[in-house]
Structure 1
Amino acid sequence: MPASPYSSVQQARERIAARLVEVMKDAGIRTGRELARRLGWQESKVSRIVNAVTPPSEDDVRAWCAACDVPGEVPGLIAALQIAEGAYVEWRRLERAGLRAAQEKVLPVYERTARFRAYSPSLISGLLQTREYCAAVLRAVQVRRRLSDDVEEAVQVRMERQRILSDPTKTFSFILEEQVLNSRVADNDVMAAQLQHLLTILATHPNVSLRVIPSGSRRQRWAAEGFWIYGTEQVTVELIGAYLTVTQPSEIVLYEQAFSELGALTVTGTGVRSLIAAAAHALG
Structure 2
Amino acid sequence: MRAWCEHCGVPDQIPDLIASLRAVETMWVEWRRMERSGLRHAQESRLPLYQRTRHFRIYTPNILPGVLQTKAYTTEVLTAIGRRRALPDDIAEAVAARMMRQQVLRDSRRRFACLIEESALAAGFGGAEVMAGQLGHLIAMSALPNVSLGILPFHPDRGGAWPVEAFYMFDDEQVAIELVSGHLTVTQPREIAMYAQVFAELSDAALYGVAARSRITAAIDAIGA
Residues 164-175 of structure 1: pairs in structure 2 closer than 5 A: 164-175=104-115
| 2-structure distance, mates of 1:132, 1:217 | 33
Matching of residue 222 in structure 1 with residue 162 in structure 2: yes
Matching of residue 106 in structure 1 with residue 46 in structure 2: yes
Matching residue of 1:43: none
| 1-structure distance, mates of 2:58, 2:139 | 18
Residues 82-161 of structure 1: pairs in structure 2 closer than 5 A: 83-161=23-101
Structure 2: state its 5+ residue gaps: 1-16
| 2-structure distance, mates of 1:92, 1:223 | 27
Matching residue of 2:9: none
Indicate the percent of aligned positions where both proteins have the same amino acid.
45
Q: Which amino acid aligns with 2:142?
A: L
SS across alignment from 1:264? helix
Matching of residue 269 in structure 1 with residue 205 in structure 2: no
Matching residue of 1:232: 172
Matching of residue 209 in structure 1 with residue 148 in structure 2: yes
Matching of residue 257 in structure 1 with residue 177 in structure 2: no
Show structure 1 runs of 4+ deviating over 3 A.
none
Deviation at 1:224, TM superposition (A): 2.9
Per the alignment, do residues 266 and 92 of structure 1 end up closer, same or farther by CA in structure 2, a change over 3 Å counting?
Answer: same
**Count of matched residue positions in the alignment of Structure 1 and Structure 2:** 207
SS across alignment from 2:78? helix
SS across alignment from 2:196? helix
| 1-structure distance, mates of 2:188, 2:163 | 19
Q: Could you state the TM-score of these two structures normalised by the residue count of structure 1?
A: 0.70
Deviation at 1:217, TM superposition (A): 5.2
Deviation at 1:222, TM superposition (A): 2.2
Deviation at 1:200, TM superposition (A): 1.2
- Give the structure with higher Rg (CA): 1
Q: Which amino acid aligns with 2:52?
A: R
Deviation string, structure 1 residues 133-164 (Cα, Å, up to 9, x no partner): 00000000000000000011000000011111
Preserved CA contact (<8 Å) 1:212 1:267: yes
Q: Could you state the TM-score of these two structures normalised by the residue count of structure 2?
A: 0.88
Deviation string, structure 1 residues 225-265 (Cα, Å, up to 9, x no partner): 10011111111111111101111000000000000001111
User: Which one is further off, 224-233 or 211-220?
Assistant: 211-220
**Higher relative contact order, structure no. (Cα contacts within 8 Å, ≥ 6 residues apart):** 2
Structure 1: state its 5+ residue gaps: 1-10, 16-79
Deviation at 1:186, TM superposition (A): 1.5
Deviation string, structure 1 residues 91-130 (Cα, Å, up to 9, x no partner): 1111112100000111111010000000000101000000
SS across alignment from 1:116? strand
| 2-structure distance, mates of 1:222, 1:202 | 23
